Structure 1
Amino acid sequence: MAKGPGRRGGGGKAQDPAHRLLADNRFARHQYEILETLECGIELLGTEVKSIRAGQCNLRDGFCLIRNGELQLHNVHISPHSHAGRFFNHEPLRVRRLLAHRKEIDKLRVALEQKGLTLIPLNVHLKGSWIKVTLGLGKGRKLHDKRHEEKRKTEAKEARAAIARY
């Protein structure tokens, strides 16, 4: 079966360089049930842009908060750029501002005030020449929910394999 754009592995169409996946948070989809997604821009320094384009971004522990009416990205590690000196480089875990419309931020604020919902970065990708972040509004999964989801995926995979055999 061909995989969708931005997925690793062979198969499918060649990836469009204008819409390239730079970092993916696959762990977030296991830990959270994603209810809604939002694509927004990110305010970066020059060395951060170069590091992200080189694939040096880790979203696994990242989360988003709304502070002073701004959307902020916390705990996302962007490695220092290898060809820049220590003085000109950026701090790997600094808080980064996300760029979204006021209505979108207000809508997220209302959703985050509900119990158990959180905002997590799902992936970082190129859209044209801009680096964008896809955020997911998610509800944490319990252990039994994770097991049920894993069982459902295994059954679907086995069904696809049986169909392919015959």
Structure 2
Amino acid sequence: MAKKQKSNNNTIAQNKKARHNYTLSDKFEAGMSLQGWEIKSIRSGKVNISDCYVHIKDGEAYLLGAEIMPLNAASSHVVCDPNRDRKLLLNRRELEQVTAYVERDGYSLIATAMYWKACWVKLEFFIGKGKKDHDKRSDIKDREWAVDKGRLMKNKNLER
């Protein structure tokens, strides 16, 4: 009798364009302050974080631009705003570190993934700087060279 395997993938949504458009350095993880209808929508996978970022306002971090679409069966007495600002839960040391990067050095805070950690929804975001077009071209060239190098090494090993 075969056992049913549990899915080990806890990822809810990803921002795949972030690594292409930004040079990412330090990684942070934050909890999110969500409403009940948002959790239900997240469980059904109605989340888009492709154009969202983290903003520091009044000493607190907020997620802007994330879209969580309400379910059709959502309660009628709750006003569902899919694009509302969501407060991120960071400890004081992390918040001061992030604020210093943003205010002093001009970095951006880019959300890259939303995932489940136990029963909590977590947001992964990085400190990053925007890439110029020539930076993107050099990254593409380096990636293609790595593929070609792998092919060359594979062919050399086969000739022996």
Q: Under a length normalisation based on structure 2, what TM-score does the superposition of the two structures give? A: 0.86
Task: Give the distance between the partners of 1:99 and 1:76, measured in 2 at CA.
Answer: 16
Whole-Å separation in 2 of the counterparts to 1:158 and 1:52: 40
Residue of structure 1 in register with 2:8 after alignment: 16
Compare CA radii of gyration and give the structure with the larger one. Answer: 2
Deviation of 1:83 after TM superposition, in Å, equals: 2.1
> What SS does the corresponding residue of 1:65 show, helix, strand or coil?
strand
The 2-side partners of 1:126 and 1:89 are apart by 25
Counterpart selection for 1:150 from 109, 117, 140: 140
Aligned length: 151
After superposition, the CA RMSD in angstroms is: 1.9
Q: Which blocks of at least 5 consecutive residues in structure 2 are unaligned? A: 1-5
Counterpart of 2:8, as a letter, is: D
Counterpart in the other structure of 2:82: 92
1:111 to 80, 101, 108: 101
Q: Does 2:55 align with 1:70?
A: no
Q: What CA distance in whole angstroms lies between the structure 1 residues aligned with 2:37 and 2:154?
A: 47
Partner SS state of residue 30, structure 2: strand
Q: Which residue type is aligned with residue 117 of structure 2?
A: K
Q: How far has the Cα of 1:122 moved from its partner?
A: 0.7
* Aligned residue number for residue 137 of structure 1: 127
Of 18, 27, 39, 1:28 maps to: 18
Following superposition, the deviation at residue 96 of structure 1 comes to 0.3
Identity of aligned residues (%): 32
Give the C-alpha shift of residue 163 in structure 1: 4.8
Cα displacement string for residues 69-112 of structure 1 (whole angstroms, at most 9, x for unaligned residues): 11111111111123214443521100000000011101111110
Displaced runs of 4 or more, over 4 A: 161-165
- Code of the aligned partner of 2:39: V
8 Å Cα contact 1:116/1:140 also seen in 2: no
Cα offset for 1:56? Answer: 1.3
What residue number does 1:81 align with? Answer: 71
Matched, 1:123 2:113: yes
Task: State whether residues 64 and 120 of structure 1, in contact with CA within 8 Å, keep that contact through their aligned partners in structure 2.
Answer: yes
TM-score (norm 1): 0.83
Is structure 2 residue 8 aligned with structure 1 residue 52?
no
CA contact (8 A) 1:73 1:97 kept: yes
